[in-house]
Chain A
Amino acid sequence: MSPLTSTASIMTEALWGWPPPVLDPAGPYAESVTVLSWALFAMGLFVTAIVVAALWVALKGPARLKAKIGGEKVVGIGGIAFPAVVLTGLLIWGLTLTASLTKPITGEEMRIRVTGEMWWFRVEYLGPSGDVLFEDANEVHIPVGQPVVFELTSADVIHSFWVPNLSGKKDMIPGRTTLLRVEADRAGRFGGVCAEYCGGPHALMGFVAVAHEREEWSEWLTSRTAPRDGTGAAGRGRELFMESGCAACHRVAGTEAGGRAGPDLTHIGSRLTLGAGILPNHRGTLIGWIGDSQSIKPGNRMPSYDQLPAEDLHALAAWLEQQK
């Protein structure tokens, strides 16, 4: 049994499940699509009912009714006129909605750059001039009631960015930047995934979107931008981090760990998940992930540190937990 089985459910319940997130919008961009979705389902059921009813009449119905649909007229009505009207209506709705969902970006919106990497998300919060304010990974935080533009791109293969509660998905394409505007109208934690198959453990590439109410948002922002003493209690854990190779790939602001290949761990202690949205974050999962990431998420780019003795793993995890 995989280590995921025992632990993941603790975290994921809050993020996923019933009601289906596509039909449970948390903002205007998702909401208009939810309305459209219900209309489409109604249309689908209605037309299926008509076709099944017509089939029933054709096969078992009374002769008088049968005669009515046994000619080219029914083809003209059911196969041409009716669909043409319905489809035209839908098309107009679809085009209008598309237009309103892709309103030009004003430049006033808050910007977050998210880069898909095999198999996690690099997140950079941008200043007004496009400079990187601070970096994070596998988690996006946004304020409620304020439009946010995601600048999406990829460092390797094509990925796709999808938080169904907030909006439809947008591909992350190497060599291009795609823009996705979202807005949350209620606070909450929403599950996100990579939707485009990107090889290997694509199935285990997720993230969390967190929408904060105003005050909470400024608190969160302060916690990210405040200067860090940055190190937590010095000791064995920190030493191990610097010496065992962790620092070569991971950055922890305020320390000499400056690796860029893997997720930024400056705030790992306050992150909701580990392994790109797949494990809840606590001491136990931290130890499990460091010691055996390859059997939790086979093929991911972080080697299992199974050569480290248990007490070292504990020390590492303890230090990481302090990086809030």
Chain B
Amino acid sequence: MSSETGFDTRLYERFPTSEPRPEGELEELQRIWAAPRGLKLLTAVNNNYVGFWYVATSLLFFLLAGILALGMRVQLAAPMQEFLDQETYNQFFTMHGTVMMFLFAVPAVEAIGIMLLPQMLAARDLPFPRLSAYAFWAYLVGGLAFFCSIFVGLAPDGGWFMYPPLTSKAFSPGLNADFWLLGIGFIEISAIAGAVEIIVGVLKTRAPNMTLDRMPMFAWAMLVFAVMIVVAFPSVILCTLLLEIERAFNWPFFDPTRGGDPLLWQHLFWFFGHPEVYIIFIPAAGLMSMMVATVARTELVGYRLNVLALVATGFISFGVWAHHMFATDMPRVSSGYFSAASMAVSLPAGIQVFCWIATLASGKVLKWSTPALFVVGSIVTFTMGGLTGVMLGMVPFDWQVHDTYFVVAHLHYVLIGGMVFPMFAALYYWTPMTSRKPLSERLGRWVFWLMFTGMHVTFLPMHLTGLMGMPRRVYTYLPGREIDLLNLTSTIGAFTIAAGVLLFLFDLARNFRFTTEHDAGNVYGGGTLEWLPTGLYSVRSIPVVRSRDPLWDDPSISGDVEEGRYFLPNAPTGTRETLITSPIKAEPEYIQLMPGPSPWPLAAAVFTAGFFLALTVQAYAFGVFSGVLAVLSVLRWLWETDRPVKMSEADVGAGIVLPIAITGPRSHGWWALNVLMVVIGMIGVMAIFAYLYLYGIHPEVWSAPPALGQTALIVALNVLVLGLSWGGRKWLEKRAGQYANDGPWALEMLGTAVLAGALYLDISGWLGTGLQPTASGMGATVFMLMALQGQVVAVSLVMAIYLAFREARGLLTTPRNVTMDVVARFIAYSALQGIVFALVPRLFPGS
């Protein structure tokens, strides 16, 4: 077998080892990983805690958004009711959709990922525990602040997809829309932070020999999920930014009277918004695949087909966004393409459904456990939602039922069948992993039947309500349209679902007792690594993985892991650490030192939330103050990276010696930075799309670009920056001794200065042509590119200053150093972006 990294795979044969481990190792692991007590528990960054809080918070938002839905259903139970007035109802439905999508569904699956992945991969923790903690706190604080807007009547009321011009200043002068734009913009940052964590976690922290081909299906799903977030979320970040800038500074991105276009929003939003649906569904499908296998007590049928389906779904889902826009009078060719793609995306879903059915059929024992009920209920419900989805993909049919209750029915079938039911199955299935007692099977049955019946009673009639002409998003309807009974039925169904959820809460209150040590264990008999005996440190030793369901195939594995007969049975450096492995074959590469409890992610999250909240209510002074504190908190937390360690390598068991904390392409930091640059790059790509789109729609507002000579100068300056950033790193490598303190920072600082100079030239060039950002769609998009470039230049500057500080304090290890790598690469990225942003708008001649 060939090796990916040069690691000799025959070494795996040494495990499980037979010599007894020295006394006291387990106690040391416990001491090192112990969680802080009392209030200090809030500084915990370990995934057992953060993941649990994260899941709990997402359930809280599920309940809150569900309560809003009940309010809406009461209002619609009969025609012309006055339970909720118009304004309140409009806020309720907007918040219901927004909270369910942004504060429940995406965070819930991300939370489950953070909670389960390290256990499934047998890692001690995810690679950036403080980043998860930051993502969680940002989500909690930002989400709660956002939700509270409804109590003061300031909740957004433009619908969860916030179409301008309804949401522009002219038609939504209040703060309501700003709460949405800044609140959601902020929460997206949290989602992206989580995605970075998950990508690097899945690719770099798998147990040795867990090749991609042996990875649990949920890990595959989370990998696809996270990559999709990284590609899709920048689009919504950009469009929320554009709309907020239009509202605050009057740059006319979406104003047709000045060469903007309302449909630009729809393209940007749905480029995110449709993948979003799969972003929610894919992880749930991963959970389904794992539970189906356990329920049927057999290996998943069609593992590779399933992986293929997940990846294909991810790809195709980026080509279907405009099927939300068929009624906007698209050219026939475009609607044909998007129709075809929408059909195609149902193929991978079909593959998964039949893989699950085939697995159930090939299974031996089937116990009707609660997870099994939810899994089967999900298959039926999701299939029905998928089929109405195929119907909606047919353009002429879509023209009829688009924006009616038929669509409301469709999307709830897909989301409840595809995400909520799998999640409830998962809550029952994985609770024993983190609770002293499992949840009640008897109550669980009731929970399922109430939710399942309620779901169909609520949403099945809505198909008909829609065909009978009831548009969605109506706060009331007229009597005499024969839809009264259908609506009343839906309301009764909604309360049935609520009864199921209430019973579930009762079950939780009675049986759920959080623990990290004395969990109820493998109640349902799963075969994957999360069912190994664990403590806060995760597994005692990290097993060599030889199949997809190691616990089924090697009955002694649990005991061997617990006895420390595998990798890293101890803590050789005396600190928190985990094993980093290679992305494809999971060959051991090095030992990563992991951070312990830290208050800084919490502080950074609170101040970031403060910053966004202050912007929303236009308290700019406080905003700046809070923003600076947020940046300082992040820097303070980063200060501890590149900790000098006494030893450069350590024995990880069976005489295998691995290096500690390396840099470069093998390191987890390198991967994370690259992922982050993809995010920033995607924001840039979408901004360029906005520019080109408006050029295509309103070429008449395009004016001539600045002279070409100046462009050459801007490009040349940015090329110089590339050289400087690279030079700084080379300088560091040439340094002898352990620390550099004589100047590599200066080159990076100089690079930043040149970056800023190039940007200044670029901006003044455009201003020189008489172009103003408020004048036209062209002005707005051109200066938007400049603004984005300004952002990366500002970040580069902060980084360069930070580098200087570290160098001054003698913390810049030679020859290589993660901090230096990150700073130099980011500055180089900024220079490349500067070149692209300078060139693109100059290539399109206006008159």
Contacts and interface: CB of A to CB of B under 8 A. Distances in A.
Given A33-B396, A36-B396, A175-B256, A79 B350 contact: yes
B397 A16 contact: no
A69 B296 CA distance: 14
A173 B474 contact: no
Interface string A1-33: 110110011111100111011110000001011
Interface in A202-257: 202-204
Given A12-B481, A79-B355, A57 B399 contact: no
Interface in A21-69: 21-23, 30, 32-33, 36-37, 40-41, 43-44, 47-48, 51-52, 54-55, 57-59, 61, 66-67, 69
Interface string B106-119: 00000000000000
Given A99-B332, A169-B399, A203-B477, A75 B301 contact: yes
B752 to A, nearest CB: 41
A195 B347 contact: no
Interface stretch (A86-94, A285-293, A316-324): A86-94
B467 interface: yes
Given A33-B400, A173-B328, A55 B475 contact: no
Interface string A94-134: 11011101100000000000000010000000000000000
Interface in B278-323: 301-302, 305
Interface stretch (A157-165, A263-271, A307-315): A157-165
Contacts of B467: 20-23, 37
B621 interface: no
Given A57-B361, A75-B354, A95-B336, A20 B396 contact: no
Interface in A129-172: 156-158, 160, 162, 164, 167-171
B329 A179 contact: yes
A171 B79 contact: no
A9 B366 CA distance: 54
A194 interface: yes
A75 B358 contact: yes
A259 B379 CA distance: 59
Given A17-B468, A33-B400, A51-B357, A87 B347 contact: yes
Contacts of B256: 174-176
A74 interface: yes
A55 B335 contact: no
Contacts of B388: 44
Contacts of B477: 203
Residue in A75, A102, A160 whose Cβ sees the most chain B Cβ within 10 Å = A75
Contacts of B59: none
A299 interface: yes
Nearest to A165: B469
Interface stretch (B234-242, B338-346, B631-639): B338-346
Interface string B188-231: 00000000000000000000000000000000000000000000
Interface string B349-379: 0111111011111110010000000001001
Contacts of B473: 197, 202-203
A140 to B, nearest CB: 16
B429 to A, nearest CB: 18
Contacts of B583: none
Nearest to A279: B478
Contact of B479 (A8, A32, A36): A8
Nearest to A11: B480
A160 B362 CA distance: 50
B343 A58 contact: no
B476 A91 contact: no
A1 B107 CA distance: 42
B93 to A, nearest CB: 9
Nearest to B471: A195
B86 A47 contact: no
A90 B379 CA distance: 23
B372 to A, nearest CB: 9
Given A70-B361, A75-B305, A75-B354, A157 B327 contact: no
A303 interface: no
Given A43-B387, A194-B471, A298-B86, A84 B347 contact: yes
Interface stretch (B157-165, B542-550, B563-571, B805-813): B157-165
A284 interface: no
B464 interface: yes
B480 A17 contact: yes
Contacts of A278: 478
A184 B351 CA distance: 43
A257 to B, nearest CB: 28
Nearest to B347: A83
Interface stretch (B125-133, B401-409, B729-737): B401-409
B353 A33 contact: no
B468 A170 contact: no
A102 B332 CA distance: 8
Contact of B362 (A70, A173, A197): A70
Nearest to B340: A91
A102 B329 CA distance: 10
A5 B79 contact: yes
Contacts of B86: 200-201, 203, 298-299
Given A66-B361, A169-B402, A200-B90, A16 B481 contact: yes
A175 B328 CA distance: 12
A191 interface: yes
A78 B350 contact: yes
Given A36-B394, A48-B384, A59 B360 contact: yes
A233 B469 CA distance: 40
Nearest to A51: B383
A63 B305 CA distance: 25
A221 to B, nearest CB: 28
A226 to B, nearest CB: 34
B249 interface: no
A195 B402 contact: yes
Interface stretch (B257-265, B495-503, B512-520, B551-559): B257-265
Contacts of A22: 400-401, 467-469
Given A16-B468, A47-B383, A97-B396, A203 B353 contact: no
A178 B471 CA distance: 20
Contact of A12 (B380, B394, B479): B479
B358 A168 contact: no
A198 to B, nearest CB: 6
A97 B332 CA distance: 11
A162 to B, nearest CB: 8
B380 A52 contact: yes
B548 to A, nearest CB: 15
Interface string B64-103: 0000000000000001101001110010000000000000
A135 B109 CA distance: 54
B171 interface: yes
B144 interface: no
Given A168-B399, A173-B262, A83 B80 contact: no
Nearest to B463: A41
B357 A69 contact: yes
A158 B159 CA distance: 13
B666 interface: no
Given A74-B354, A199-B171, A203-B475, A171 B360 contact: no
Interface of B: 79-80, 82, 85-87, 90, 157-159, 163, 165-166, 170-172, 256-257, 261-263, 301-302, 305, 327-329, 332, 335-336, 339-340, 343-344, 346-347, 350-355, 357-363, 366, 376, 379-380, 383-384, 387-388, 390-391, 393-404, 464, 467-469, 471-483
Given A32-B396, A99-B332, A201-B86, 7 more contacts: A17-B481, A21-B468, A72-B305, A75-B355, A87-B390, A158-B165, A197-B163
17 contacts: A16-B469, A17-B481, A36-B394, A40-B391, A47-B383, A55-B376, A58-B358, A69-B361, A72-B301, A72-B302, A78-B350, A158-B166, A164-B469, A168-B396, A169-B400, A176-B329, A203-B86
Q: Which 6 A-B pairs have the closest CB atoms?
A: A175-B256, A168-B399, A70-B362, A9-B480, A203-B474, A79-B354
